[in-house]
Amino acid sequence: MLGKLIKYDFKATSRTMFPIFITMIGLTFVCSLMSRLRLTTGFVFIALTIILTILLTCSFLITIFFTVNRFVNSLLKNEGYFSFALPVSTLTHIASKVINVIIWAVLELLCVFVCIMIMGLIGSSVNEIKEAFEELMHLDINFWGLLIELMIFGTLELIATTCLFFAAYAVAHLFGKHQTMIAIIFIIVMIAIRAFFFPSRIFISDYTDFFALSISWYIKPIIFAGLYCALTWFILDKRLNLE
C-alpha cells in the first residue's frame, strides 16, 4: 500500500513540478544559446536570465512548497477524509510524504545538473569544454567525495526542513483560527531552538577531513526529521479533527 501512496503523491505533485523542471531546462538552453550568439544586451535576455536565476536558486524552496502543499491538502483538508478512510496507518501516510520529498530532491539535483551541463556545452567553445573536462579529470578524488557528501547533506537538510513544515501545519491544525500564522511562529521557534542549542560549526580546511565531519553533518538533520515526524504522527493519529 505504501507503494501506491507514493505513486499517488508523486503523480499529484508531478503536475506542477515537471513543468517547472522543463521550464528551467528550456530557459537554460535559450539563455545559453543567446549568450553564445552574443545576444546579451536586450531586455529579453536580462528578463529570462533573472527568471532562470530565481528558479535555480529557489529550486529547493519550490520543492518544499509543493510537497508541503500536498501534505496539507491530502491529510489536513477535505481530502483527508478519503486518505484516512484507507486501510493504511498514519505512519504509512507520513512515510509516503517523506519518500516523495526524497524523490523530488533527487530529481531536483538532476535537473540542476542538466542545466549546468547545458550552460557548459552551449555557452563554451569546443576548446574550453576540452580544457574544463581535463581539469575535472585531474581533480583530487577527495573533491568528488566532498561534493557527494555535500549533496547528501543538502538532501537530508531538505528532508528535515520539509518535516518541520509538516509538523508546523499539523500543530497549527489543532487551532481553529490563524493556522498559517501559528505554523510560521512554530517554524521560527523550532529554527531558533535548533540554532541556539545545536549551532552549526562546519570548518573545512582540508578535503581530507570531510569523512570525519560527515558523521556530525548527518546526525542532526536525521534526528530533527525524526522528531518532527514523531510529532506529526502523534497529532494526526491522536488529535486530528477534520470537522
Query: pLDDT digit string (tens) for 114-173?
Result: 988 888 777 666 566 666 666 666 666 566 666 777 778 888 888 899 999 999 999 998
Between CA 242 and CA 235 the distance in angstroms is 12
pLDDT at 113 over 70: yes
Query: Residue 213 pLDDT > 70, yes or no?
Result: no
3-state SS, residue 174: coil
Residue type, 240: L
pLDDT grade, residue 41 (50/70/90)? Answer: confident
User: CA 202, CA 195: separation in Å to the nearest integer?
Assistant: 13
Q: Are 10 and 97 in contact (CB under 8 A)?
A: no
pLDDT, tens digit (0-9, with 9 covering 90-100), for 61-84? 888 888 888 898 888 887 888 888
CA distances from 145 to 20, 105, 110, 150, 210 (A): 30, 19, 18, 9, 8
Looking at the predicted structure, is the pLDDT value of residue 230 above 60?
yes
Tell which wins on pLDDT, 158 or 199: 158
Q: What are phi and psi for residue 241, nearest 5 degrees?
A: -140, 105
Which amino acid is located at 92 in the chain? T
Going from the C-alpha of 55 to that of each of 46, 93, 133, 225, the distances in angstroms are 14, 29, 27, 26
Q: In the numeric block, which cell numbers belong to residue 56? A: 535555480
Contacts of 161 (CB under 8 A, 6+ apart): 64
pTM of this structure: 0.80
DSSP 37-87: TT--SSHHHHHHHHHHHHHHHTHHHHHHHHHHHHHIIIIISTHHHHHHHSS
Distance, in Å, from the CA atom of 139 to the CA atom of 146, rounded to the nearest integer, reads: 12
Mean pLDDT, rounded, for 195-218: 57
CB-based contacts of 25, cutoff 8 Å, min separation 6: 111, 114, 115, 118
C-alpha distances out from residue 150 to 56, 193, 217, Å: 17, 24, 9
Residue type at 28? T
Which of 43-47, 106-110, 174-178, 211-215 is modeled with the greatest confidence? 106-110
Structure confidence by residue, pLDDT tens digits, 9-20? 898 899 889 999
